[in-house]
Structure 1
Amino acid sequence: MIEIELKGYANEKIFERVRATFEFMRKEIHEDIYFNHPCRDFSKTDEALRVRIKRFNGHFEALLTYKGPKIDELSKTRKEIEVNIDNVETYIELLHALGFKEVLTVKKTREKYYIEKGVTITLDEIEGLGKFVEIEKLAKDEKEVEKEVKRLLSILKSLGIERFERKSYLELLMEKLNLSEGS
């Protein structure tokens, strides 16, 4: 699948606009543990591998996610492969055994809202970074990307978002902490 995603910096006023405009789905707590490949530096290849631990409504869910390089110049659109995992510790042990190194853990509180079938918008509060809004749509192929990026961008602009960000939360935190992914 192709994940078409745009992200913008937000404040409480923008959060309130989203809450008033779209249908609330749920609040989630995420703990994203990022890994670097033993033979190539994901920060240089623009890839990501993470284990996401997600808690919501008394439920627990964990996913192993690979994200390929971004495929356009405006958004964070990329190929994404996700696998549900049931034993986080065992998967992390497996990654370590294969030579993968933990880079950083990103913690966030996320409110998820429904826009329309296949399109969601989230209010993210990232520990150490602040508030962001992300809008996302999954697509089957790259033919949809240009049209959908423009449409999703217009939704974000209509909410008052003026400053956009293509870097991941991991990249932003690494910069803030003055770390390199290989460290």
Structure 2
Amino acid sequence: MIEIEVKGYADDKIFERVREDFELIRREYHEDTYFQHPCRDFTETDEALRIRVRRFNGHFEAFLTYKGPKIDPNSKTRREIEVPISDPDKHSEILSRLGFQEVLTVEKVREKYYVDKGIIIALDEVEGLGKFIEIEALAENERAVEETVERLRGILKELGVERFERRSYLELLLERR
């Protein structure tokens, strides 16, 4: 599956417009722990491997996610493989024993909103970075990427987003170090 994602910097005004115009799906707390491959530098290959722990409404879910290199110059579009896991601590231990090193944990509060069939907006408050807005859709193949990216960027521009960002939260946090 290809995750087509466009991200921009946000402020209180943009957050309020989304809250007024779209239907809240749910509010979540994310802990995303990223790992570095023992033999391959993900910063050079533009890949990512993470364990996400997501908490919402008294529940918790965890996923192991591989993100391939970005495939579009105007967005964060990537191939993504994600599988649910039941014990993130044990999965982290397995990765560690295989030589993977923990890089950083990104913590954020995310509000998810329904925009249209297959399109979701996320309002993110990222610890150490501030407020962002992401809009995403999924595609089966790369043919739909360019047109979908333009549609998603248009929605964000209508909401007042002026500055877009292709780097991940992990990349932004590592640059601040």
If the TM-score is normalised by the length of the shorter chain, which range does it land in?
over 0.9
SS of 1:80's equivalent in the other structure is strand
Match of 2:100 in 1: 100
Alignment of 1:13-32 (within 5 A): 13-32=13-32
Please give the TM-score of this superposition, normalised by the length of structure 2: 0.99
Match of 2:7 in 1: 7
Please give the TM-score of this superposition, normalised by the length of structure 1: 0.96
Counterpart amino acid of 1:39? C
Alignment of 1:61-100 (within 5 A): 61-100=61-100
How many corresponding residue pairs? 177
Match of 2:52 in 1: 52
Superposed displacement of residue 113, structure 1? 0.1
Superposed displacement of residue 122, structure 1? 0.5
Match of 1:140 in 2: 140
**Whole-angstrom distance in 2 between the partners of 1:13 and 1:173:** 24
**Whole-angstrom distance in 1 between the partners of 2:116 and 2:174:** 34
Superposed displacement of residue 117, structure 1? 1.4
**Whole-angstrom distance in 1 between the partners of 2:64 and 2:154:** 31
**Whole-angstrom distance in 2 between the partners of 1:8 and 1:124:** 10
Superposed displacement of residue 105, structure 1? 0.3
Report Cα offsets for 1:32-62 as digits up to 9, x if no partner: 0000000011011000000000000111000
Report Cα offsets for 1:90-136 as digits up to 9, x if no partner: 10011011110000000000000000111100100000000000000
Runs of 4+ in structure 1 deviating by more than 2 angstroms, as ranges, are none
C-alpha RMSD of matched pairs (Å):
0.4
Report Cα offsets for 1:13-42 as digits up to 9, x if no partner: 000001111110000000000000000110
- Runs of 5+ consecutive residues of structure 1 not aligned to the other structure: 178-183
SS of 2:165's equivalent in the other structure is coil
- Runs of 5+ consecutive residues of structure 2 not aligned to the other structure: none
Counterpart amino acid of 1:98? L
Counterpart amino acid of 1:61? E
Counterpart amino acid of 1:9? Y
Match of 1:169 in 2: 169
Report Cα offsets for 1:64-106 as digits up to 9, x if no partner: 0000000010000000000000011110011011110000000
Counterpart amino acid of 1:152? L
Counterpart amino acid of 2:167? K
Q: How many percent of aligned residue pairs carry the same amino acid?
A: 68
Match of 1:150 in 2: 150
**Whole-angstrom distance in 1 between the partners of 2:66 and 2:9:** 24
SS of 1:111's equivalent in the other structure is strand
SS of 1:147's equivalent in the other structure is helix
